[in-house]
């Protein structure tokens, strides 16, 4: 596969999708999902539009957040989140975007993250570099935790599940003692793109949806960063969490996570 050609085609498709994305800001909930999660009409419409266009232009199937589709274990598959940060989007926040990753045998080999409200378009293919608004970027430079902003996923303190709220609070408490500032943007894809761009020194995702991670993992890796789960194991499409950072920062945060204990302790 010519990855650069595929990204060029996919970029044009996401550019087309950015128009209805911008027009639908503050869209109401259309589909109630699990718990208090929901999708807007814009999520559904953009997924249909992008899936049809990608399939026709590239011949590669798509796995989308809203409708599923191609198996993520397929040899080649696009992974799409049509509106990442849906709560932000519905509320009118600009911290939201369109995420598209390409997996080859489970490995992220290309990523595209479109942030239409801030005018930022990130692309990358395996081997780098990260490309921002068409301009190749330098590899990530080492950054000390004391100078780093760290992005973290949002949550309820009373939440249970794989990563209970009290565990997340303990992680953030320990990180807050050593990092410059914590940031909670409410968009995993944005956090990962900002790690790749060097805006954030690291990002922690306590969630496990492949459509939230695939594009950003490709961006971070192309920029010279590392992405694992919170146990330090290599990221895969079945990972239930993600830790993204430049290598030295990643190692420092992993030590803090280990010192915090396991989620089962909470």
212 is in an annotated binding site: yes
Helices then strands, counting H and E runs in the chain, come out as: 7, 15
State the DSSP code for 162: S
User: Do residues 213 and 242 touch, judged by C-beta distance below 8 A?
Assistant: yes
What is the CA 91 to chain-centroid distance, rounded?
20
For 24, which DSSP code? T
Q: Is 43 annotated as a binding residue?
A: no
Do residues 27 and 89 touch, judged by C-beta distance below 8 A? Answer: yes
Residues whose CB is less than 8 angstroms from the CB of residue 116 and which lie 6 or more positions away in sequence, other chains included: 18, 21, 22, 97, 98
Q: How far is 82 from 66, CA to CA, in rounded Å?
A: 8
Q: What is the Cα–Cα distance from 137 to 143, expressed in whole angstroms?
A: 17
Is 158 among the annotated ligand-binding positions? no
> 264 is written with which tokens?
């089962």
The 242-245 sheet, strands edge to edge = 181-183, 149-152, 202-205, 242-245, 226-228
Residue partners of 220: CB distance under 8 A and separation at least 6: 192, 195, 196, 226, 227, 244
Is 84 labelled a binding residue? Answer: yes
Binding annotation for Mg(2+): 65, 81, 84, 212
Residues annotated within a binding site: 65, 81, 84, 212
């Amino acid at each position: 596969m010519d990855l650069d050609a595929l990204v060029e085609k996919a970029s044009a498709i996401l550019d087309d999708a950015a128009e209805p994305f911008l027009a639908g800001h503050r869209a109401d909930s259309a589909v109630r999902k699990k718990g208090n999660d929901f999708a807007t009409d814009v999520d559904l419409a953009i997924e249909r539009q992008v899936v049809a266009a990608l399939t026709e232009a590239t011949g590669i199937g798509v796995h989308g957040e809203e409708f599923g589709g191609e198996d993520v274990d397929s040899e080649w598959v696009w992974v799409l989140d049509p509106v990442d940060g849906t709560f932000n989007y519905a509320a009118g926040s600009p911290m939201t975007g369109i995420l598209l990753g390409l997996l080859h045998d489970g490995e992220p080999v290309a990523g595209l993250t479109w942030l239409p409200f801030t005018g930022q378009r990130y692309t990358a293919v395996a081997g780098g570099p990260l490309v921002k608004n068409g301009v190749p970027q330098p590899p990530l430079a080492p950054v000390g935790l004391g100078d780093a902003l760290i992005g973290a996923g949002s949550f309820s303190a009373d939440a249970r599940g794989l990563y209970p709220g009290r565990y997340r609070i303990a992680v953030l408490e320990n990180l807050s003692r050593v990092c410059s500032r914590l940031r909670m943007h409410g968009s995993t894809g944005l956090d990962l793109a900002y790690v790749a761009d060097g805006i954030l020194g690291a990002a922690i995702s306590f969630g496990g949806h492949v459509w939230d991670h695939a594009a950003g993992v490709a961006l971070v890796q192309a920029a010279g960063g590392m992405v694992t789960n919170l146990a330090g194991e290599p990221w895969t499409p079945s990972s239930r969490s993600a830790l993204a950072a430049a290598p030295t920062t990643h190692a420092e945060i992993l030590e803090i996570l280990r010192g915090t204990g396991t989620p089962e302790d909470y």
